[in-house]
Structure 1
Amino acid sequence: MIKVIERLADGIDILSMKSEQIEVVVSNYGCTIMKVYMQDKHGHIDDVVLGYDDFTCYQTLDAYLGALVGRIANRIGKGQFCLNGKEYHLAINNGPNHLHGGIKGFSYQIFDYQIVDEKTIVFHYLSKDGEEGYPGDLDFKAIYHLEGDTLTIRYLATTSQDTIINITNHSYFNLSGKQENIYHHLLTVQADQFACIDGDGLPTGEIRAVKDTPFDFRTPALIGERVEKQDEQLLLGKGFDHPFLFTAKENQVVLEHQQTGRRLTVSTTLPGAQIYTANYLDGRMGKYGQHYFERDAVCIETQNLPDAIHLEKNPTTILKKGETYDETTSYKFEVIKG
């Protein structure tokens, strides 16, 4: 069942998507996932994503809590790229680099939307040619579908001229219901390799094997046993803030909190995910009177390789006129009994 539960100024709505198993609260502002309510193995219900009580925080703060991120997720080196022989210049908003679509990327836009049926919302936004420096009119849809315990998000886009696109959702997950940090969360990532970053979080182009490193989550491991390791890459990222390159085609990431029995399985058509352990949360006020600090959540940002326009011979982030960008990520929230 889907219903509008609050209307704010300027056409911003807050909607509830509810099934028998979970409830997801979303807004057409940035297609933001504001709340995910789910039971634990004892039947107790908690909200398992970070967010804000004060909606203006989504509009003014920089951590992208729950937001859809675009046109380009993650970083573009020095805020510039060349496409079809033409150079484009974007905002420098993260050290020396461009981050998450710019000053007013998709996370800060109001989408129009349609409730298609009792399980589906279609969010729509037309990003005009030149918006935030990107070429082409980008006609974009994000389709949110809640079926049982699984929220599926499908991203669709076409463009009036060749452009670049890399969309993700930036939810901060804490399956304890923020009763503790993420150190006791088990993480599994079906990835043999990860991309190295520099001190500004930008991928360097070096790809390393996860074997014999703290980045090896091919079998479940506690985040807390890995994130504090004295590893050069972890020190550069102040924790995990790295692209993992998937070896599997589905169910690539599993997050589990054994004390509550909650499990999140992320499945995507995209080739990788940025795993981020909330290293830059600064004690800001969040929901329910709680303050948010580093390690209070983990983001699983499914996407193409960050800065692919500079690092890949045939960049996966290029969308050509006449083609359709079509990617899907699903989030399965289940309770493991016993």
Structure 2
Amino acid sequence: MTPTTPTSIELRADGLLLEVVPAGAAVRRLVLLDGEDETDVVLGFDDASLYGTGRDYLGATIGRYGNRIAGARFTLDGVEHRLSPNENGNTLHGGADGFDQRAWTVVEHGESHVTLTLHSPDGDQGFPGALDVAVTYSVTAGVVRIDYAATTDSDTVVSLTNHTYFNLDGEGSGPVDAHRLTVSADAYTPVDGELVPTGEIRDVTGTPFDLRRPTVIADALAGDDVQLVRGQGIDHNFAVDGTNLRHVATLRGTSGRALEVMSDQPGVQVYTGAHFDGTVIGTSGTAYGPRAGIALETQGFPDAPNHADFPSARLRRGDRYASTTTWRFGRDA
């Protein structure tokens, strides 16, 4: 099939509609169909031309490296690589011109799936090795699946993720404070004042980050912990229990809608959306205020290239990066 670049692609399956935008390979809408009710449960720009501009990362595919790399540098095989700094001298979400700002190519799509690809040349944002990346969105009844794949011509580091914000009570319905969140993680990675991991992997027991049982988000954010101050809420990586494709998190809205996230990645960045200040207008025409949505970004550990004790993010020449995340939607009984 000849590669094309449509403005957007709508995927449909029983119970949902997913709109994907090639700019940033981003999720713009995820509409749950419940009888006559149609509820969009993700945050998206009302003005679709804002996708690919580097603003807010709404729904975007993130790369080459999700979250932060300290000092915009890392060493691989004794060679230091200096990256593009774009936040307090650190590299966030791949640098000043990350994958969220690229025009991805649609190489295949049907009623229920789409595959988009991107070529990242050697030295792109300072990362070594030419990288060829593909992301496939597919939908089945009540489920969105995201498959990532990448190959490199030289050893490099890779951590791809998706930056969708969820609000199960409906996009534009207000803060997610009353949502209940469960995360399958016995530990998390504390951060310094610039939100870069300190290198510690800390037990969640006795902290506001103990989300192993359903917890109202507002209650977690009310905890007394300097980490909540640094993140203006939760903006932290959790070390997900287990390996392979397994449960990562469950989110429940006051509407009774529920989302179950599964992934094969070692971490998940939980971000409660403190930065929204009314300047982003959503698909419903509503201005997004603080905590308008929550991001659950399945990922490698932030700053892993600089911490030998973190799960390795290295991708070797000749190997294939492959990762899967699923979002399953339902209702409480």
Same fold (TM over 0.5): yes
Q: Which moved more, 1:314-323 or 1:89-98?
A: 314-323
- Counterpart code for 2:271: Y
Shift of 1:130: 1.1
Distance 1:282 1:207 in 2: 32
**Residue 263 in structure 1 maps to residue 263 in structure 2:** no
Partner of 2:277: 282
Q: How many residues align?
A: 326
Q: Is the 8 A contact 2:261 2:327 kept in 1?
A: yes
Which aligned pairs between 1:62-101 and structure 2 lie closer than 5 A? Answer: 62-101=55-94
Post-superposition Cα deviations, 1:160-193, rounded to whole Å, max 9, x if no partner, equal: 0001100000001011103231111010001000
Report the Cα distance in structure 1 between the residues aligned to 2:124 and 2:272, rounded to whole angstroms.
30
User: Is residue 310 of structure 1 aligned with residue 303 of structure 2?
Assistant: no
> Quick one: which amino acid aligns to residue 27 of structure 2?
I
Look up the match of 1:159: 152
Using the TM superposition, give the Cα deviation of residue 27 of structure 1 relative to its aligned residue in structure 2, in angstroms: 1.0
Q: Matched residues in 2 for 1:49 and 1:117: separation? A: 22
What does 1:60-209 align with in structure 2 at a 5 Å threshold?
Answer: 60-177=53-170, 178-209=172-203
| Cα offset, 1:305, TM superposition | 0.7
Q: Distance in 1 between matches of 2:21 and 2:225?
A: 39
CA positional deviation for 1:280: 1.4
The residue number in structure 2 matching 1:243 is 237
Work out the CA distance in 2 between the residues paired with 1:285 and 1:116.
30
Report the CA distance between 1:120 and its aligned residue. Answer: 1.9
1:314 deviates by 7.1
Which of 17, 32, 35 is matched with 1:38 structurally? 32
Unpaired runs of 5+ residues, structure 2, are none
Q: Deviations over 1:5-43 (max 9, x none)?
A: xx9xxx452010011200010011111000010146x85
Q: Report the TM-score when normalising by structure 1.
A: 0.92
Give SS of 1:179's match.
coil
| Change over 3 Å in CA distance of 1:118–1:56 after alignment to 2 | closer
Partner amino acid for 1:328? T
Tell me the CA shift for residue 333 of structure 1: 1.5
Instruction: Indicate the residue corresponding to 1:254 in structure 2.
Output: 250
Amino acid at match of 2:179: H
Seen in structure 2, the aligned counterparts of structure 1 residues 150 and 68 have a Cα distance that, compared at 3 Å, is same
Q: Aligned Cα RMSD in Å?
A: 1.6
Q: Percent identity?
A: 36
Q: Is contact 1:12–1:29 with CA below 8 Å preserved after alignment?
A: no
8 Å contact kept, 2:32–2:38: yes
Residue of structure 2 aligned with 1:329, choices 309, 325, 331: 325
Q: What is the CA deviation profile of residues 39-72 of structure 1, one whole-angstrom value per residue up to 9, with x for unaligned ones?
A: 46x8522111111111232233531000000000
- Greater strand content: 1
Partner Cα distance (2:169, 2:112) in 1: 26
CA displacement, residues 87-131 of structure 1 (integer Å, 9 cap, x when unaligned): 111111011211001111110111112335432211111111111
Segments of 5+ residues of structure 1 without an aligned counterpart are 1-6
Q: Is the 8 A contact 2:84 2:125 kept in 1?
A: yes
Change (3 A) 1:315 1:253: closer
- Report the counterpart of residue 272 of structure 1 in structure 2: 267
TM norm structure 2 = 0.94
Contact 1:309 1:315 in 2 (8 A): no
